Amino acid sequence: MHRLTMFIAAGVFSLSGAATASSFIGTTDAIGSSLANTVEATSDITSSVGDDKVVLEAREDAASFVGSDGDVRGVRLEAALTHIRSALPELEATDMQLAAAILAL
């Protein structure tokens, strides 16, 4: 979880330098909401399927997905996303949020 916190802080700091005062508030609100959802998804995944072999084997595909901004979708990531959504049907998270949560495991 510490690694995720450092990644989030780095992202927020890099965005803050380029934003103007008026757009910064809207940007931070959007980032804050997105990060809250990602942290919630990470927590839900960790407690429910965080030690599941299907999910753990998807880490490399999740890294490619996040690194390519969603352009690269591996078979193991697809299997993990399907598995997570079937195990946690109440979880409302995007593919990107789930991939980030998989990386945080």
Amino acid at the residue 4:
L
Rounded Cα distance between 22 and 19, Å, is 8
Domains of the chain, residue spans: 2-104
pLDDT per residue as tens digits for the range 18-67 = 444 444 454 444 444 544 555 555 565 555 676 789 999 999 999 999 99
CA-nearest of 7, 99, 87 to 61 is 99
Token readout for 52 is 């599941």
The pTM of the full predicted model, rounded to 2 decimals, is 0.57
Of the listed ranges 12-16, 58-62, 97-101, the one predicted with least confidence: 12-16
